[in-house]
Structure 1
Amino acid sequence: MKVRLTVAQALVRFLSVQYSERDDQRQKLFAGCFGIFGHGNVAGVGQALLQSELADPDALPYILARNEQAMVHTAAAFARTTNRLQTYACTASIGPGSTNMITGAALATVNRLPVLLLPSDTFATRIATPVLQELENLGAGDISVNDAFRPVSRYFDRVSRPEQLPSALLNAMRVLTDPVETGAVTVALPQDVQAEAFDWPEELFAEREWHVARPLPETTILDQAAELIRTSRRPLIVAGGGVAYSGANDVLRTFAEATGIPVGESQAGKGSLPYDHPQSLGAIGSTGTTAANAIAESADLVIGIGTRYADFTTASRTAFQNPDVRFVNLNVARFDGGKHAGLPVVADAREALTALTAKLNGWSVEDEYRAESLQLAQEWDAIVERTYNPPAEVTGKLAAGLLTQGEVLGCVNELSDPRDVVVCAAGSMPGDLHKLWRTRDGKGYHVEYGYSCMGYEIAGGIGVRLGAPDRDVFVMVGDGSYLMMATELVTAVQENVKVIVVLVQNHGFASIGALSESLGSQRFGTSYRYRSGDGRLDGDYLPVDLAANARSLGVEVIEVDGRAELEKAIGIAKAAAGPMVIHVRTDPLIGAPDSESWWDVPVSEVSTLESTSTARAAYEESKAGQRAYMAPVTYTREVDD
C-alpha cells in the first residue's frame, strides 16, 4: 500500500510515531516541533504541521519560537532534562533563519545532546536561481549556506529528491538515539522538495521504537580497573554528565559509600551526589572547591565517570599533580575513555559502577583519607555559608540596595525547594554556581558549560520546565546574556511555561571584566558605559532599564532593592502560576571565593602596559604546572601457582 503525501507531510507523520526505549520505559522521541516560518518552510513543513494539528493536536505539537538559535537551545535543554531520551525538532526558513540555528547546533553537539534541525534550503531544481536569501558560490553549484551545519552536526543530510527522505530520517533517528554518537542532526530540506508529492510505502509511518543501549563492561578490563583501585592509596572520582544521563546517581552513591572514594564533580556532573554527602567534595577544577582541588592535587588514581575532561575540569591539566597519577575512565564513548592515557572501561556508567562495586566488595580507602576528605569539604561549606551570608565588613562596602552575587545565589538556593532546578550558561555565575550551589537533587543543577553560550539561559530554562513540569526552574542570568536573547520570554508567556528569571544587573560583563583584569587588560570593553570626552568607553553607566524591557515582553516583573525584598520576591515567584522576572542589582567587583586553581588563557608575551607584563609573568609560572598525562596504566595481576 502507498500513501500520497508531500515530503513535508511525510516528515511530520514519520516524526510523530518515533519512540525511544530504555529499561522497558517507552516515550515519544519527539515532544513536538519548534519553528519560525518564512518563505522557505511556510508552505512545506508549516502546512504539514497545520494539517497534523488539525487531525491530532498531540501528534507533533508546534511551538512558535522568537529566535531560531534560542529554539535549538530549548530543545537541547529539554533533551538534557529527559536524559537524552526525548527531544524536539526545529524548523526554520532558508537563509538567515536557518543559519541562526548553527550556534545552537554547535552547543548540542559539544554537549552531546540530541536535537533534530530542519533548515530549509534553496530550490533543488535551481530553475529560478538565485532566489531570495540564496548564497551563490562561484566555485560550486551544489553548495548552500546550510553546508555550514556540517562541522557542527553529528549527522548531516540534504533531501534533494523525495526518494532520499526515508534513508535520511532513519539515519537521523539512529544517531539521535545513540548515546555515543548523539548530538545535532541536520536534515536540510529544499523548499520546492518540501512541497513535492510522492507515493510513500505505508511501512514508513508504522510506529518505530529505538532502543537506547546500556553497553556492558568487558570482564578483563573491569578486573584491571578493580586492581588499579585496590592498589591506590588516594583515589578520586570525577563525576561527569554521563552519571546523570545513565541514571547512575544511586549506584555512584553506593559505590562511594562502600569504598570511601571522594567525588569531585564537573559542571555537567554537579548533583551526582548531594552536596552534604560524606564523600562529596563538590565542584572540581578551575571553578572548583578548595576541597576537591586539594584532593585532586595529590590523587594517585583518577576515576573518571562519564566525563570528557574539559579544560575547566582538569584546570587546564594542572589539577592532578601526583607524578604517579593514573586514570581509569568509565565512559560509554571509547573516545573519552582513552583520554589521559587512561584505562578505558567502555560501558554504560550505571552498569560499569554496579559491576565495579561487586568486584571491590570489602575494599575501602583508609579511614584517615575518608576523614581528610570530609574535613576539607566541611571547611569549604563554611566558606560557602560566609559567601551566602557575608559579614558586615563586606556588606558595609556596598552601595544602597546592592547585593553581592554570592548573596543572590545564596538567597535563591536557600529559598528554593530541593527539587527546583537552577539554570545558567555564561558569565561569572556559572563558575560561582559550580563552586557555591548546594545541590540537593540529581536534576537540580543545569548549567550549560560545554559551549557556555550567552543567551542560552532563558531558552534553556523553558526547555528544562517542559521536560520537568513538576519542578520550579530558576534561570540565573546576567545583563549581558539577557540582552543577547531575552525574546524567548514571549514564548514562555505564550505557552504559560513557568520559569523564574533572576535577572542580575551589574552594568556589563562581570566574568570577562574580572578575567580581563587578571590578564592585565584592565577590564577594557567590559562595562556598559557612555563614551567620554576623550573618546573612551569609560563614562557614566548607560541608563538601560532591563525591568521595563522584560515587562514589555509580557512577563510580570518584580524589582528588588536589597536582600529582604529579594527574599520576598522569591516567595511570590514560587507561588505564581506563570513566568516571572526578578530584577536585582549587584556589585560586580565583589567576587566569589577563590578555587585555588587555574585556567589557561594566554597573556600577551610582550606589552608596553605594566599590568600586562605582570600578568604574563604570573601566567608563565602557572603554565609550568601543566602536564601531558601520558603515562601508561600499569597494574599487578595475581597469578596462580
Structure 2
Amino acid sequence: MSTQTASSTPRTASPCNGASWLAQALIAEGVDTLFGYPGGAIMPFYDALHGSDLKHVLVRHEQGAAFAANGYARASGRVGVCVATSGPGASNLVTGIADAMLDSVPMVVITGQVATPLMGTDAFQELDVFGMTMPIVKHSFLVRRVEDLPRVVAEAFRIARSGRPGPVLIDFPKDVQVGDASGLAPHVPLDIDDVPRAADASLHAALALVSQAQRPVVYAGGGVALGNAVDVFRDFVNATRIPAVLTLKGLGALPPDNPLNLGMLGMHGTRAANLAVQECDLLIVVGARFDDRATGKLSEFAPHARVIHMDPDACEIGKLRHADAAINGDIVGALKALTLPCAAHVHGRHAVARRQWLETCQQRARDHAARYDAPGDGVYAPALLKRLSEIVPGAVVSCDVGQHQMWVAQHWRFSHPRQHLTSGALGAMGFGLPAAIGAQLALREQAPHDPQEPEACVVCVSGDGSFLMNVQELATVARYRLPVKIVLLDNQALGMVRQWQELFFEQRYSEIDLSDNPDFATLASAFGIPATRIDRADDVEDALQALVHAPGPALLHVAIDQKANVWPLVPPNRNNAEMLDGDEVPGPAAQASNSPTPENPSHALPA
C-alpha cells in the first residue's frame, strides 16, 4: 500500500490562480457553456470550474467536445469553447478544430499542457499541440506566464470573431494554471475588428458589368451568413430579379419557395442550378470560394461568364477564378450599395433578354423538380426528409457526412443558413450527433427552457457509418436530457463510397459492407433513449409524428435500400452540365477515364 506524505498532497487551488482567472475571463467574454473532458494537465482549470457560473458539458470523447463547440457556434453565431487535457486529449480535438477552420467557425480551444520546466522532455502526456495545430487554426497561443493571460485571452476571442471567423488555440501549462494571478486586473474583452468598406471603384465596376449582362446568375455561399448579410442578400436578389444558386453552406440564404432560388449547384446540385451557371454571361459571387464540389471541372465552370466576386476575405478573390470586379470588404455594405442601381437594370436595355433568361431558368426548375413518388414499399429517404422538414420547418438540422448529407441538402427546406449544420469542406464523419448537442444547448441559452413548453427542435440526420464514429455521445444526450431527434438512415453500407465504386470502379466493392451493424434501436435504449425502427413507406408519417412529439431525445432507425444512390451526380473531371441521373450509368470507357488518379486529385474521394 502506498502512503502519501503531506508534501505530496494535492494543493487546493487558490481562488486567485491562473485557472480561476481564466474561468472569470471566459464569463467576461460572454461564454456561458463550454464542452470538455478533464485530465491531469488541465485539472487546475477544472477545479476552478467547480462552483463557477460556467456550465460545463461533459462529453464522452474529446472529438465530441470539439464538434459540440463547433455546432454551438454554427447555430448561435457566438464563439464555441472546448477544453481538453494534454497529449491524447489535445490530439483528439484536432479533427474538430480542422473542421472549424475549413468552415470558418469561431472557436476558442483550451488545452492543458505539462508544466513549462517539463516541456521538451517527453514528459507524460506531453505533446506539441501548438505546432501540431498551426496549419488548422487562425492563431495559437502558448501561455508561459500568468501575466500573459489578459493579452492572450483577449486576443484569442478577438481573432476568433473578427474578419473570417475561425478557431484559436490556447495551450495552458499546468504551472501557469496554478500560478498566482492575484495581481491581474479583471478581464476586459477587445472590440472586434471592423470589416473594411468595399472600394467605390470596385462597386462601379460591378454595376457596369450588371448593366451589360443578359444572363446573370447570383452564386452565394456560406459568407452570406458569416457576414450577417442574409436580409440584405434577399433584398438584392428580390430587387434585381436575378436567379440565384446556392452552395452547400449557402442553403437557406434564400427561402426555399422563392421563385428566384434555383437550388444548390455542384456535384449533387439541381439541374436548373448547374445549367444556369454553365450558360450565364455574368456570375455574381457572394461569399463563395469556387470550391471544387461546387464548380466541377474548374476550367469549364461558367465558361461564358464574367465574374463579380464579393468577399470579406481578400485571399479568396482571384484564388481560383479571375474576378472582373473584385469587391473585397463588408458584404452588407456592398449589397446595399448595389441593390437599387442594379435593380434599375431590370427595366433597362436588356430587359427582354433578362426576362426570357429568368423564365428559362424557372421553367427548368419546374421541369426537373424532385419527385417523391418512388415505387415500392420501402422507405424513400428523400421523401422522408422532405416530409420531416414540413413537420418541423424551424428545426436546426445537424448532418453527418455521406449520402444522407446530400439528401438533406437537396430535399430539406431551409429558411436560414444557421438551420443547416454540416461539415462542408472537411467532410468529417461523426460530426452530426455532437454538433446537434452543441446546437441544442445554444438554442436553450437563447430561449431558456420552460419545462411546460417544448424546446426548439434540433434534428440529427446520420448514416449508419457516421453514427458509430461518435455514438458514445448518446450518453451526453441522455445525461443532459437534450431533446435531440435523431434520424438514422441505415443502408448497412458506406453508402457514398459504395455509390462511387458502383459508378467509377466497375462495381468492385471494397470494404463498404456494414451488414454487421448493431441493432440501433436497442443500442439507443441502452442509453435510456426511446427508439423506433421502420422499413416501410406506410409507417413513415406515424413514425415522424412520434419522433417530433417525443418529450425528450428520441431515435428513429430507418432501414433503406442499399442500392439507393444520390442523383444527380456530376462525374469527376466533368463540368456541371454533364450530370448523371438515375437512369444514366457511364460505360466502361467513361468509367476508366473518370476513375480518380493522382493527375485528377480534386475529386479523388467521395464526400
- TM-score of the superposed pair, with normalisation by structure 1: 0.82
Q: Which residue pairs with 1:192 in the alignment?
A: 175
The worse-fitting range, judged by mean Cα deviation, of 365-374 and 558-567 is 558-567
Q: Which residue pairs with 2:492 in the alignment?
A: 507
- Residue 253 (1) aligns with residue 234 (2): yes
Q: Which residue pairs with 1:374 in the alignment?
A: 362
Structure 1 position 154, deviation (Å) = 0.8
Q: Which residue pairs with 1:532 in the alignment?
A: none
Q: Which residue pairs with 1:404 in the alignment?
A: 380
Alignment partners' CA distance in 2, 1:614 and 1:367: 38
Q: Which residue pairs with 1:424 in the alignment?
A: 399
The AA in structure 2 aligned to 1:579 is: P
Contact 1:4–1:197, Cα closer than 8 Å, also in 2: no
Could you say what secondary structure the match of 1:513 adopts?
helix
The AA in structure 2 aligned to 1:454 is: M
Q: What are the superposed Cα offsets for residues 157-195 of structure 1, whole Å, 9 maximum, x if unpaired?
A: 111221222222122122112032x21100111123212
Contact 2:248–2:424, Cα closer than 8 Å, also in 1: yes
Alignment partners' CA distance in 1, 2:272 and 2:100: 31
Structure 1 position 80, deviation (Å) = 1.5
- Distance change (3 Å), C-alpha of 1:209 and 1:471: farther
- Residue 495 (1) aligns with residue 480 (2): yes
Structure 1 position 87, deviation (Å) = 2.2
Structure 1 position 264, deviation (Å) = 0.3
Q: Which residue pairs with 1:351 in the alignment?
A: 333
Contact 1:389–1:410, Cα closer than 8 Å, also in 2: no
Which among 9, 23, 29 is matched to residue 12 of structure 1? Answer: 23
Could you say what secondary structure the match of 1:256 adopts?
helix
- Distance change (3 Å), C-alpha of 1:441 and 1:90: closer
Alignment partners' CA distance in 2, 1:460 and 1:305: 26
Structure 1 position 586, deviation (Å) = 0.4
The worse-fitting range, judged by mean Cα deviation, of 192-201 and 7-16 is 192-201
Structure 1 position 114, deviation (Å) = 0.9
The AA in structure 1 aligned to 2:306 is: R
- Distance change (3 Å), C-alpha of 1:306 and 1:298: same
- Residue 312 (1) aligns with residue 297 (2): no
The AA in structure 2 aligned to 1:373 is: C
Correspondences of 1:164-313 after superposition (within 5 Å): 164-180=148-164, 182-202=165-185, 204-206=186-188, 208=189, 210-211=191-192, 213-313=194-294
What fraction of aligned residue pairs are identical, expressed as a percent?
A: 26
Alignment partners' CA distance in 2, 1:424 and 1:128: 40
Alignment partners' CA distance in 1, 2:590 and 2:366: 35
Contact 1:270–1:434, Cα closer than 8 Å, also in 2: yes
- Distance change (3 Å), C-alpha of 1:620 and 1:97: closer
Could you say what secondary structure the match of 1:344 adopts?
strand
Q: Which residue pairs with 2:421 in the alignment?
A: 446
Q: Which residue pairs with 1:479 in the alignment?
A: 464
Structure 1 position 51, deviation (Å) = 4.0
Contact 1:262–1:370, Cα closer than 8 Å, also in 2: yes
Contact 1:425–1:449, Cα closer than 8 Å, also in 2: no
Structure 1 position 129, deviation (Å) = 5.0
Q: Which residue pairs with 1:50 in the alignment?
A: 50
Alignment partners' CA distance in 2, 1:166 and 1:523: 57
Alignment partners' CA distance in 2, 1:442 and 1:159: 36
Q: What are the superposed Cα offsets for residues 295-334 of structure 1, whole Å, 9 maximum, x if unpaired?
A: 1111111111111221111124266343x42211111111
Structure 1 position 462, deviation (Å) = 1.6
Q: Which residue pairs with 2:8 in the alignment?
A: none
The worse-fitting range, judged by mean Cα deviation, of 169-178 and 434-443 is 434-443
Alignment partners' CA distance in 1, 2:471 and 2:66: 15
The AA in structure 2 aligned to 1:256 is: V
Which among 48, 51, 64 is matched to residue 58 of structure 2? Answer: 64
Could you say what secondary structure the match of 1:73 adopts?
helix
The AA in structure 2 aligned to 1:592 is: V
Could you say what secondary structure the match of 1:313 adopts?
helix
Structure 1's unaligned 5+ residue stretches are 19-27, 136-143, 397-401, 530-540, 602-609, 627-641
Could you say what secondary structure the match of 1:507 adopts?
coil
Q: Which residue pairs with 2:67 in the alignment?
A: 73
Q: Which residue pairs with 2:6 in the alignment?
A: none
Could you say what secondary structure the match of 2:191 adopts?
strand
- Distance change (3 Å), C-alpha of 1:572 and 1:212: farther
Structure 1 position 225, deviation (Å) = 0.7
Q: Which residue pairs with 2:537 in the alignment?
A: 563
Correspondences of 1:375-390 after superposition (within 5 Å): 375-381=363-369, 384=370, 386=371, 388-390=372-374
**Paired residues, number:** 558
Pairwise CA RMSD: 2.6
